[in-house]
Amino acid sequence: MNVKQRYLAISGLYFIMAQSIATPETSTGYTFPAYNLDVITHSLNHPWAMAEIAPQTFLITTKPGQLLRLEKGQIVAQVTGVPDVYYASQGGLLDIVLHPDFHTNHLIYLSFAQGTASHNHISVMQAELSGNHLQHQKVIFSASPDKDTPVHYGGRLLFLEDKTLILTVGEGFNYREQAQVKSSQMGKLLRMKDDGSVPDDNPFTDDSAVDPYIWSIGHRNPQGLAYDPRHHVLYEHEHGPAGGDEVNLIEKGKNYGWPVITKGMDYSGAMISPYQQYPGMEQPIVDWTPSIAPSSMQIYYGDMFKQINGDLLVTTLKTRALRWLKVQKNKVMQQRNLLRHLNQRMRYVHIAADGSIYLLTDGSDAKLLRMSAKTTAPAQVPKKSVAKDKLQPGSA
């Protein structure tokens, strides 16, 4: 059995286990605002992320390598000029973010798996969007070293308020020790300038033994990033093994422990580490055991759901929910699962400019959903609401 087959086999086994041991919801003392849920579009082939380039106009990435333009609920074009991707298992075209000055420079950034089965890595491309075409493409960064597994890429991108770019890089599944090796970029959060170069104020630029891009170390497969601009806080979440999914409060130069400390077990049932805490290693602010498989995260600020301003929204694959984390003073006070009855693996959450919440489901026939406040007028976009997809306002 090769690496990919072994990974899929043990992942499938644990998926069955996770479904039989449901993650309990915290007792509710807060109420999520009443909402409507509409299906905006469907038949998406393994979408991974989206970005809003204008009101009701989005770019959606799909793992096989498509960049789709959606306007007013309709897919109107496939954007040309995207990079060639290594599409296998968890690899492919992944995240998309807009440059903070997108409306003047039209720059977008894509993360994608690049290479071959025996030598692959995560890369970042910068390109200028011109109509439905990417031009002036430039790969500004490629993580090293290469690996020979098609999993645990990380791949999430996020611009900070100083216009530097954070990239999450997974540890490749078979290379978990690399997460603690400071000369390796695997299992790290990396910080770069918008042209891919190293910022002078990165924490280890004066240490020749440490990779200068490193912002934090000790991560497994980080796929969630959210920055709170009001409190200047960076949140990250990552997949654990059989248990040990976590949310971390990221600080410059800190060590988040993987694989030295974890509450998870190996998929085989073997112990990964005897330690759940260790000197010099940070504790998560949230641990999910059993795993929920968190796939993306946003911090909500908007006018449509003012009651949840400052809270975290996390999509989950295994527990098939939008998970609402009530946050006060950087602490998660309570959690609640939304949309469980849809029984859809949730891939990505996006907060639109109007404050509505967009959700991409996962799979070969995925949907784009929109949550809007019940008290607002219906959005002026074509809707494809189906009875089974319609929720009672505020139900979870």
CB 44 within 8 A of CB 366: yes
CATH for 146: 2.120.10.30
Q: Is the pTM of this model over 0.95?
A: no
The greatest distance separating any two alpha carbons of the chain, rounded to the nearest whole angstrom, comes to: 60
Share above pLDDT 70 across residues of the chain, in percent, rounded to a whole number:
87
The rounded distance, in Å, linking the Cα atoms of 37 and 366 is 15
Q: pLDDT tens for residues 231-266?
A: 999 999 999 999 999 999 999 999 999 999 999 999
How much of the chain is helix, strand and coil, in % rounded to 5? Answer: 10, 40, 50
Backbone angles phi and psi of 328, in degrees to 5 = -140, 125
Has residue 361 been placed in a domain? no
The rounded distance, in Å, linking the Cα atoms of 277 and 257 is 8
The rounded distance, in Å, linking the Cα atoms of 99 and 81 is 18
Q: Tokens for 205, please give them.
A: 């630029």
pLDDT recorded at residue 29: 75
The rounded distance, in Å, linking the Cα atoms of 133 and 82 is 8
Q: State the residue for tokens 């009701």.
A: 56
Has residue 90 been placed in a domain? yes
350 is catalytic: no
pLDDT recorded at residue 206: 96
Has residue 68 been placed in a domain? yes
Has residue 300 been placed in a domain? yes
Bridge partners of residue 346, in order along the sequence: 361
Count of domains in the chain?
Answer: 1
Has residue 87 been placed in a domain? yes
The rounded distance, in Å, linking the Cα atoms of 266 and 13 is 12
Q: In 63-208, where do the E strands start and end?
A: 67-71, 74-78, 93-98, 107-115, 120-130, 133-142, 154-159, 165-169, 188-192
CB 156 within 8 A of CB 143: no
Show the domain range for 210. 3-22+44-350
CB 236 within 8 A of CB 247: yes
Has residue 31 been placed in a domain? no
What is the phi-psi region of residue 151: left when phi exceeds 0, alpha when psi lies from -120 to 50, beta otherwise? beta
Segment (H or E) for 61: strand 57-62
Of 310, 51, 315, which is closest to residue 159 (Cα–Cα)? Answer: 51
What's the distance, CA 316 to chain centroid?
10
pLDDT recorded at residue 342: 97
Sequence-distant (6+) residues with CB within 8 A of 108 are 51, 59, 96, 97, 98, 99, 102, 126, 127, 128, 129, 134
pLDDT recorded at residue 28: 53
CB 142 within 8 A of CB 161: no
What is the sign of the dihedral through the CA atoms of 58, 143, 238 and 13?
A: positive
CA separation, residue 197 to residues 47, 99, 194 (Å): 29, 15, 7
Active-site pick, 152, 219, 237, 239: 152
Of 170, 289, 297, which is closest to residue 228 (Cα–Cα)? Answer: 297
pLDDT recorded at residue 322: 98
CB 150 within 8 A of CB 88: yes
CA angle 362/364/367 to nearest 5° reads 50
Q: pLDDT tens for residues 274-326?
A: 999 999 999 999 999 999 999 999 999 999 999 999 999 999 999 999 999 99
Has residue 372 been placed in a domain? no
Where are the alpha helices (H) located in 50-156, listed in sequence order? 102-105
Segment (H or E) for 332: strand 331-338
pLDDT recorded at residue 377: 52
Where are the alpha helices (H) located in the chain, listed in sequence order? 3-20, 102-105
For the chain, which ranges sit under pLDDT 50?
1, 3-27, 376, 382, 385-396
